């Protein structure tokens, strides 16, 4: 329930009863366009991007804690940048090992994610006093984003391509959905890049609507 309340916290209620936008989360989503738009609209590739994204955040949190322990905070920014690049290249090598076709298809997109949200969320956020507090402060945003991103990729895959895809050993498996035929439909538009922008806008609008309703329900209970 606590997670859900954060998940729907695009709008928050102020002490005086007015509603204001949670700008940090909006900023987070805008920055995350680098992950959502250039990635091919298949669930399998989206899943890989989400794993890479979360891995970058977790390793960056652990690494920044290590730098605090080593007492070299002065070089923290440079080292964190290097660590993010290192993690991304290493992740790509792991992808080559497990699923080369996904590594080929995603290519430079993996690097775009490294220089979007994690940088803003980790480098420019004040570090917490403990590792636990650091994870608590940074992971909810990452989890929220991951859930929305997976819904986004699943919708593009199902509506746009009429398939459901997942990563298996050395291959990407394509499951053709029973209702989907090879004929063109209006939903196929969601497979394209302009369609991805439109779908993202629709998801954001749905988000706003649901969060607004939640706040109204809360108010009426009081």
Partner 1 sequence: MLNKKLLHSLRNYGIFFGIVSGFVVLLIVAILLVRSSWHTGLSSVVQNTLNESYPDTYTVDKPIAIPSAFSTSMAAFSLIPSTESPKAYYGIILRATSLAGAVPVVFLCEKNDAAAESPFTVSFAGYAIPTGKAKNIFEKNISIKSLQYWEKQIVTILGTLKTEEAL
- Residue (64 or 144) nearer to partner 1, CB: 64
Q: Can you read off the two tokens belonging to residue 123?
A: 């480098």
Judged by CB under 8 A, the stretch of 6-14, 79-87, 131-139, 144-152 that binds partner 1 is 79-87
List 32, 49, 79, 142, residue binding partner 1 (CB under 8 A): 79
Whole-number Cα distances in Å, 37 to 33, 42, 110, 190: 6, 11, 12, 11
- Residue (42 or 138) nearer to partner 1, CB: 42
Residue 118 is a binding residue for partner 1 (CB under 8 A): no
Question: What residue has token string 């080292």?
Answer: 79
Min dist CB 175 to partner 1, Å, is 10
| Residues making up the chain, counted from first to last | 222
- Residue (137 or 172) nearer to partner 1, CB: 172
Min dist CB 19 to partner 1, Å, is 36
Q: What is the Cα Rg of the chain in Å?
A: 19
Q: Can you read off the two tokens belonging to residue 177?
A: 């959905």
Residue 74 is a binding residue for partner 1 (CB under 8 A): yes
- Window 130-159: residues binding partner 1 (CB under 8 A): none
Measured distance CA(168)–CA(171) in Å, rounded: 5
CB atoms within 10 A of CB 83: 19
Q: Cβ-count burial of 184 within 10 angstroms (0-12 exposed, 13-18 middle, 19+ buried)?
A: exposed
Residue 215 is a binding residue for partner 1 (CB under 8 A): no
- The site for partner 1 (CB under 8 A) is made up of 38-42, 70, 72, 74-75, 78-79, 82-83, 86, 89-90, 93-94, 96-97, 99-101, 103-109, 160-163, 170-172, 174, 176, 180-185, 188, 191-193, 196
């Amino acid at each position: 329930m606590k997670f859900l309340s954060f998940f729907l916290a695009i709008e928050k209620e102020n002490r005086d009863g007015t509603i204001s936008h949670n700008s940090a989360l909006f900023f987070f989503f805008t920055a995350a366009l680098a992950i959502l738009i250039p990635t091919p609209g298949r669930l399998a590739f989206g899943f890989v991007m989400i794993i890479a994204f979360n891995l970058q955040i977790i390793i960056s949190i652990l690494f920044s804690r290590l730098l605090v322990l080593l007492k070299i905070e002065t070089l923290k920014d440079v080292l964190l940048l290097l660590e993010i690049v290192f993690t991304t290249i290493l992740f790509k090598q792991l992808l080559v090992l497990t699923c080369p076709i996904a590594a080929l298809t995603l290519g430079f997109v993996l690097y775009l994610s490294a220089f979007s949200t994690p940088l803003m969320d980790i480098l420019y956020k004040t570090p917490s006093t403990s590792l636990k507090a650091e994870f608590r402060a940074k992971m909810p945003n990452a989890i929220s984003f991951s859930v929305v991103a997976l819904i986004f990729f699943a919708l593009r895959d199902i509506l746009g391509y009429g398939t459901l895809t997942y990563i298996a050993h050395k291959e990407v498996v394509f499951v053709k959905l029973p209702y989907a035929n090879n004929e063109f439909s209006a939903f196929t538009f969601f497979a394209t890049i302009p369609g991805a922008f439109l779908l993202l806008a629709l998801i954001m609008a749905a988000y706003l609507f649901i969060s607004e309703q939640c706040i109204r329900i809360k108010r009426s209970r009081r």
